[in-house]
Structure 1
Amino acid sequence: MSVNSDFSPIPTIFHITHEKSGSQWIRAILTQCFPDIIVNPHWQQKQFFVTPLQEGKIYPGLFISKEEFYRVNLPSNYKKIIVIRDLRDTFISLYFSLKISHVILNSEMKERRETLNSLSINEGLKFMINSNMLNHAHDIQTSWIDSKEKIIKYEDLLENDEQILDDLLINDFKLPISRKQLKKIIIDNKFKNVSGRDRGIEDITTHYRKGIQGDWQNYFTPEIKLLFKDKYGIHLVKTGYEYDSNW
């Protein structure tokens, strides 16, 4: 829908997240709600770091840390949506994306795909951990968790997207859309309606691979679990996904 004069000026909206945490899902909802004021993502976040920010626009899918966000000259009136995901599920989703489904954007991605396709799943996951491929998502999560700002978990959105987004977009941000229209757009973008499959039915060739939480348990061997705990175990506690290292 278009923003019109019947509503007060809206804040600039920044949707901040990291790889494999539903960024395309939320972007689709925001774009269908407000197509006229969306600023589409660009390679290396140039729409945020290079191009001057536009007041009253919506910036979906920003993969940026707290330090990067506040380094930019921000509009006077803005709101943030910060979404994180269990780093273990982020890891598994990233594995299949790099190996199969993501469009190859550069030579580095091409080389990684070739490597992952030459290895078993277990060896491929080891390669990713040892190559620090998860560090970008980890660092983004850490910066925002440490900031004590409001965080939305991807897992909560999976189970309660209508209530969370209604409360956020209409009650908090005061965006110009009716609850009826917002609900319809959210329903249209649910996993089953987009993919044609129930959540949990996997298709590794698509961006909408499985649509569930806890899928890491299907792929973590004792070896991968030990490696992951050693590198990111404290982080899982810090982000509230585990109480301790006994998982």
Structure 2
Amino acid sequence: MNSSLKDRLQRLNVNFKRFGLINTIKYLIRNAIVKRPVNQIKFYLKRKQYSQNIIFITSLPKSGSTWLSNMCSGLDGFDLFAPIKWNTYIAKEWDDSRWDLNEDIFKEFRNKLAVIRGHTWAIPKNLNVLEQSNLKYIIGVRDPRDKLISEYWHSRNFPGHWAHDQAQKLSISEFITYKLESGEFEKETLNWIRNWLKNRDIKKSTVIRYEDMLNDPITVLKKIFNFLGFKIEQKKIENIIEINSFDKITGRKRGESDDTKFIRKGVSGEWKTIFSKEQKLKFSKIGDDIIEKLGYQSTL
């Protein structure tokens, strides 16, 4: 039996047991006969405004993807979704495969205007799914040196995070040294960026830097929407940015740090004062190729 049909029958059985025959029939009439067709009509009317109904964003954690996806979901009719396969969020061990795409993953949203965000790698399987979908997609990046600092505070302050225990035992300097010398940071972060820069479809993808979002969010959103083929008015873009500003979301001015929060500081270039000379030297040996390609300031 089709898994989707099986799930529906199970829900129907639960409704019948809880609410009885009459109320279950009313539920079916309201949802299947009235609500669903109305929603479909609303979808098709909205769908005509956009060249594609899915905005797919792939980005590493602590790289501004939450902010970016929230702004994209501010478009009329769009909502932010997590595919069923991805509803794992924080696991005890990091497993890149949980963010892999499969051939059916976008079918889940074929009748929705959806923003989908993941930490998907640029491996052949995922690239093939994106190619078959014919979707234009967004690759979010952040200066990896700042990302490493943000990663420390995030893992340290969230007990469910797989690296929480490790971060609790180390100072930020010790954490940075460990990540750089163990090879973990190159494997988890630098190689992720390298793979996307090397293997992305240039015509169907655009790279968005977190730092550009900080410095000029209007220009960045215009770039994204123009790339996707969306015609969005300036006033709407300004409204989206205002609603999702650092001040509005956190109640703090940008630069005012709260190391216990998911959104901690909202600035760039912190690595310049936190990295030691030895750490800068180590990073330059393993990551300055990425720094150069993305147009960031040289480490040394």
TM-score greater than 0.5 by the shorter chain: yes
- The reply to whether residue 189 of structure 1 matches residue 244 of structure 2 is yes
Following the alignment from structure 2 to structure 1, what is the Cα–Cα distance between the partners of residues 165 and 246?
29
Q: Distance in 2 between matches of 1:60 and 1:103?
A: 26
Q: Aligned equivalents of 2:114 and 2:189: distance in 1?
A: 22
Matched, 1:23 2:65: yes
Quote the sequence identity (%). 25
Contact 1:145 1:239 in 2 (8 A): no
Aligned length: 236
Q: 1:207 to 1:167 in 2, by over 3 A?
A: same
Which of 250, 256, 264 does residue 209 from structure 1 map onto? 264
Which consecutive unaligned segments of at least 5 residues does structure 1 have? none
Superposition map of 1:112-127 within 5 A: 112-127=163-178
Structure 2 unpaired stretches of 5+ = 1-41, 89-97
Mean alpha-carbon deviation: is it higher for 13-22 or for 50-59?
A: 50-59
183-192 vs 220-229, which moves further: 220-229
Deviations 1:28-56 (A, max 9, x none): 2223335655432523226x337531346
Q: Which residue of 1 aligns with 2:30?
A: none
Structure ID, larger Rg: 2
Which structure ranks higher in relative contact order (CA pairs < 8 Å, sequence separation ≥ 6)? 1
Q: Aligned runs of 1:157-236 on 2, under 5 Å?
A: 157-169=213-225, 171-175=226-230, 178-236=233-291
Give the letter for the 2:278 counterpart.
E
Distance 2:294 2:184 in 1: 19
Give the alignment of 1:137-176 within 5 angstroms: 137-147=189-199, 149=202, 150-169=206-225, 171-175=226-230
Whether the 8 Å CA contact 1:23–1:60 is kept in 2: the answer is no
Q: How many angstroms does 1:230 deviate by? A: 2.7
Q: What corresponds to 1:40 in structure 2? A: 82
Q: 1:122 to 1:167 in 2, by over 3 A?
A: closer
AA aligned to 1:130 is E
The alpha-carbon deviation at position 64 of structure 1 amounts to 2.0
CA separation in 1, counterparts of 2:130 and 2:295?
A: 31
Partner residue in 2 for 1:79? 136
Cα distance in 1, alignment partners of residues 50 and 224 from structure 2: 17
Q: Match for residue 64 of structure 1?
A: 120
Q: Which residue in the other structure is 2:106 paired with?
A: 53
Q: 1:93: how far off?
A: 0.8
When residues 78 and 103 of structure 1 are mapped into structure 2, their CA distance, relative to the original with a 3 A threshold, is farther
Within the alignment, does 1:5 sit opposite 2:45 as a pair?
yes
User: C-alpha distance in 2, partners of 1:24/1:184?
Assistant: 17
Q: How does the TM-score come out when normalised to structure 2? A: 0.69
Report the Cα offset of residue 123 of structure 1: 1.4
- Measured against aligned partners, the alpha-carbon deviations of 1:107-136 in whole angstroms (never above 9, x if no partner) come to xx1xx3222222222112212223434222
Question: Which SS does the other structure have where 1:66 is aligned?
Answer: coil
Moved over 6 A (4+): none
Higher helix share: 2
Distance 1:21 1:34, change over 3 A: farther
Deviations for 1:142-185, whole angstroms, at most 9, x for unmatched residues?
1222247332211111111122213422x332447544333212
